[in-house]
Amino acid sequence: MKNALKIAAAALCCVALVACSQKGPAEAALKAAETSVNEVKADGAKYAVEQTKGLLASYSAAQEAFNKGDYKAAMELAQAIPAKGKDVVAAVAAKKDELTKSWNALTASVPGMVEQVKAKVDALSAMKKLPKDMDAAKLDAAKTSLADLTKSWGEAADAFKSGNLIGANAKANAVKTKVADAMAALGLTAAAPAAAPAVAPAPAPAAAAAAPATPAKK
């Protein structure tokens, strides 16, 4: 019985020693994992939500395992986190690129549409007598709409400049919808993209010089 107790005690000591030997590396791995998480979680929460949720869940699992004394599991979980952090970085970059392209497309069309509305409102305002399909109330509504569109587009541009790509696109798309309604109310259609300059036809090749006439035989 005493021998059995001694063996059990020795085994427990071995387990404790192994656990202690794994605690340090597990702590180091957790520290590195924490750094990775902190570097990406702010942008990740905005632009790569699902990937960031998975990253944070992995980090929480590693912490939980460490707190329970399962240092081996904690270390294995923590060591996988930096790679997941890199996946989040890649997802964030891809989303930002997508949003930037969307913004560029909007800036290529929406300001021109707003200018069309402004030109129409200015033209109507300068008339002494409004057309049959327009009255003072409609013109006032168009002026109010134009002011709102101009303000909203300015807010969208400010959001983009500040790095708020999601907010900038959301505001710009809202302006696009509203300006389309304003144009419809004024009987306008979006201007077609400028046509590419016509290419001048290549000059015809010069006619070959006429061969000298052969003198007639006498």
Locate 94 and state its tokens: 């891809």
Of all residues in the chain, the percent with pLDDT exceeding 70 is 78
Q: How many residues in total does the chain contain?
A: 218
* pLDDT per position as a tens digit, 69-126: 999 999 999 999 999 999 999 999 999 999 999 999 999 999 999 999 999 999 999 9
Kindly indicate the confidence band of residue 2, based on its pLDDT and cuts at 50, 70 and 90: low
pTM score above 0.85? no
What SS3 class is residue 113? Answer: helix
C-beta of residue 190 within 8 angstroms of C-beta of residue 183? yes
pLDDT of the residue at 3: 54
Tell me, what's the pLDDT at 190? 77
Residues 40-72: pLDDT tens digits?
999 999 999 999 999 999 999 999 999 999 999
Instruction: Write down the pLDDT at residue 192.
Output: 56
Name the token pair of 176. Answer: 């696009």
- pLDDT over 60 (residue 198): no
One-letter-per-residue 3-state SS of 115-146: HHHHHHHHHHHHCCCCCCCCCHHHHHHHHHHH
